Amino acid sequence: MAETSKQITILPAIDLMDNKCVRLRQGRADEQTIYNDDPVDQALQWQAQGAEYLHLVDLDGAFAGSPQHTRVIADIVAAIRIPVEVGGGLRTDDDVRRLLDVGVDRAILGTRAFADTAALRQLVEQHGRHVAVGIDARDGLVQVKGWVETTATEATMLARQVADLGVQTIIYTDTATDGMLKGPNVAAMGAMCAAVPQVAIIASGGVTTADDVRALAALKCVNLQGAIVGKALYDGLTTMTDLLAAAQEGAKR
């Protein structure tokens, strides 16, 4: 990898369930905490605190297999100035098109990217950089269907496959660290970046403190372009100000 890294973008997460902003512990629907009854208000708060990009997850969509919050997402996009990416239940071409039509910048495919590479290739040909792939993994193995199923496929292998199809952005979630507030799996993120140096990687899972952002920046991976932060922000364990400062500091090292 290159000697220096560009500044990592901090992406606050808004997870949608029952039209509310929630967080799940390790993706478990029965371990839910509601943080805001108004997701649009939450999006405006993150924008006001300096966020340059938002990460939205339709949790109901992920479990149901089809989008459940398209209207709420459209309201968020209309209310803010910064771009958003959205994942959760995007199993058809129409699902992707509807999100892009309401102004979503990146539609994230997870289960479908794993199960139907021909469809993924076609979507990338149609929509280019606006189609991203979410790779969720535990112990290096891909998980699908809202983390309910663990496959035998290595995350880095899937990353190479989707990169060959022209995917430009991968959101890589280490599910064992997600929501646990114990820091990211830095080694796994480094391995993912090294596996597909031509693809932008967004790190997800475990980012809790400014030091975690510094640790990711210390990998010196030019393609590690973002870090998603959720529970730590909602629980007040860190702030956007501190995370942004750490990202800026890391880019100067």
Residue 2 lies in a domain: no
With tokens 């989707």, the residue in question is 162
The answer to whether 86 and 71 have CB atoms below 8 angstroms apart is no
Residue 115 lies in a domain: yes
The answer to whether 224 and 193 have CB atoms below 8 angstroms apart is yes
Reported confidence tier of residue 182, pLDDT bands at 50, 70, 90: confident
Residue 4 lies in a domain: no
Whether residue 4 has pLDDT greater than 70: no
Residue 243 lies in a domain: yes
Q: What is the pLDDT of residues 206-232, one digit of tens each?
A: 999 999 999 999 999 999 999 999 989
Give the CATH number, domain containing residue 33: 3.20.20.70
Residue 1 lies in a domain: no
Count: domains in the chain:
1
In which domain, by residue range, is 141 found? Answer: 9-252
Whether residue 204 has pLDDT greater than 50: yes
Whether residue 31 has pLDDT greater than 70: no
136 catalytic residue (yes or no): yes
Instruction: Say which of 58, 60, 95, 136 is annotated catalytic.
Output: 136
Q: Which residues sit opposite 227 in a β-bridge?
A: 10, 203
Q: What is the pLDDT of residues 119-130, one digit of tens each?
A: 999 999 999 999
Lookup: tokens for 70: 């398209």
pTM of the model: 0.92
Lookup: tokens for 21: 């902003």
15 catalytic residue (yes or no): yes
